[in-house]
Copies of this chain bind each other. A is one copy, B any other.
């Protein structure tokens, strides 16, 4: 029974993920098209429904219709359900792939999850899924409570709970959908330290991925983090700090964004935007008013994204760590890429660079497409494409103006961006015993 399940999943997990996600999105789009989903009571266009469903399921957060004002409570629940499936569901699948089928993590790391895995039995699988869901729901519940406290000051308790639950789920899953209305995201909370801290906490924890979460929960007992956890934590921290500094410095004198704010406010806005750019997608300031250099820097952050098996997107923090390690190794003339005094297998480094290059190729292709169909500044287009690919959800304002062809391109990018790196990495895995014939080696000059 267990072996059969594994063989079924192992046959072509990327295909299963892909078709499963596509079906969920189509089903969600149909639900959103029901007249009871929109406040106007009329059925929206299929492409807008598909856009919204894709954005929710791929936890992106780019919206063509304002979530708060356009959709009814029914519509909100559909969106929320899609976010949960897309966030936690994907997290579960990714964890299953990574831990059980691919055996890509070390024995030590597998020991961390020993009791929940109990390999070799179908119960182990079920227990793992249950654990992922439990962690996610636990964090979401805490988030909902914390949000509700804050919202209760501004609205009735019922509405506060409703908003609390919605935003907690949306933001923990790095979906970036909000109910604030008029595409305002969290602009009104830019100075609210409580809201900032809660939201950043949810985004960061959601972006860690299950393996790291499990490792964190287990820390007291083992007193030692796995290599994977250490890489994720340090890269995440490093990127947040660097991002904050860059945004802070570049925008310090920009009066269209934070130039006229106080020092502390400037720092808080920079910190929040640094955190949200790597997948969160809610914003406390209008990023279209940032300087070009800041926006380009944010594009790089969006491309890097969150950590593997998390609710976030991008090429992932670990991949980025490998790239940085590879460049350092190159500069210092070393052959081995070393992270925290651990050498990485050459094959894995190669995988990281190739996946990254492929992702750059996708972003370039998407940008080319959008540049032909849309009439907008190039940076705005590049920003939108990277945001879709990295399932971030930030926008310089292009989403609302997209043509039909542009919407289709962004839908494809969100879909590819959510599944891409994982399935790509999976597809890149060695397939032993399949090489029947190898060509003789040839040489060409490179560089």
Which residues of A line the B interface, CB within 8 A?
98, 104-106, 109, 209, 211, 227-228, 231, 250, 291-293, 295-297, 300, 308-309, 315-316, 318-319, 321-323, 326-327, 330-331, 333, 335-336, 338-346, 348-358, 360-361, 364, 367-368, 371-372, 377-379, 381-382, 421-422, 424-428, 430-431, 435, 438-447
Distance of A85 Cα from B323 Cα, bound (Å): 36
A-B contact list, 17 entries, CB within 8 Å = A98-B445, A105-B443, A106-B443, A292-B371, A292-B381, A296-B368, A300-B364, A318-B444, A322-B444, A327-B354, A338-B439, A343-B441, A344-B442, A350-B353, A353-B354, A357-B357, A421-B447
Contact check, B447 vs A316: say whether CB atoms are below 8 A apart: yes
Distance of A327 Cα from B355 Cα, bound (Å): 9
Contact check, A211 vs B441: say whether CB atoms are below 8 A apart: no
Distance of A439 Cα from B426 Cα, bound (Å): 26
Which of B104, B321, B378 interacts with A443 by CB under 8 Å?
A: B104
* In the complex, the 6 A-B pairs of residues with the closest C-beta atoms, listed nearest first: A342-B442, A425-B447, A378-B379, A293-B371, A421-B447, A343-B439
Measured between beta carbons, the chain B residues less than 8 angstroms from A425 are 446-447
Copies of this protein in the complex: 2
Measured between beta carbons, the chain B residues less than 8 angstroms from A335 are 430-431, 435
Distance of A109 Cα from B442 Cα, bound (Å): 11
How distant is A306 from chain B, measured CB to nearest CB, in Å?
Answer: 12
Contact check, A308 vs B446: say whether CB atoms are below 8 A apart: yes
Measured between beta carbons, the chain B residues less than 8 angstroms from A331 are 427
Residue ID in chain B nearest A323 by CB atoms? B357
Given contacts A292-B378, A333-B427, A368-B296, is CB(A327)–CB(B361) below 8 Å?
Answer: yes
Distance of A245 Cα from B445 Cα, bound (Å): 28
Contact check, A319 vs B447: say whether CB atoms are below 8 A apart: yes
Distance of A353 Cα from B343 Cα, bound (Å): 19
Which of B296, B327, B381 interacts with A357 by CB under 8 Å?
A: B327
Contact check, A309 vs B445: say whether CB atoms are below 8 A apart: yes
Contact check, A447 vs B355: say whether CB atoms are below 8 A apart: yes
Contact check, B105 vs A351: say whether CB atoms are below 8 A apart: no
Distance of A252 Cα from B262 Cα, bound (Å): 52
Residue ID in chain B nearest A309 by CB atoms? B445
Residue ID in chain B nearest A353 by CB atoms? B353
20 more contacts with CB within 8 A, not counting A292-B371, A322-B444, are A98-B445, A105-B444, A291-B371, A296-B368, A308-B445, A318-B445, A323-B357, A327-B354, A327-B357, A335-B430, A336-B435, A336-B438, A336-B439, A342-B442, A344-B441, A348-B443, A350-B350, A352-B446, A424-B447, A426-B447
Distance of A104 Cα from B211 Cα, bound (Å): 43
Measured between beta carbons, the chain B residues less than 8 angstroms from A349 are 350
Contact check, A343 vs B447: say whether CB atoms are below 8 A apart: no
Measured between beta carbons, the chain B residues less than 8 angstroms from A447 are 308, 315-316, 319, 351-352, 355, 421-422, 424-426
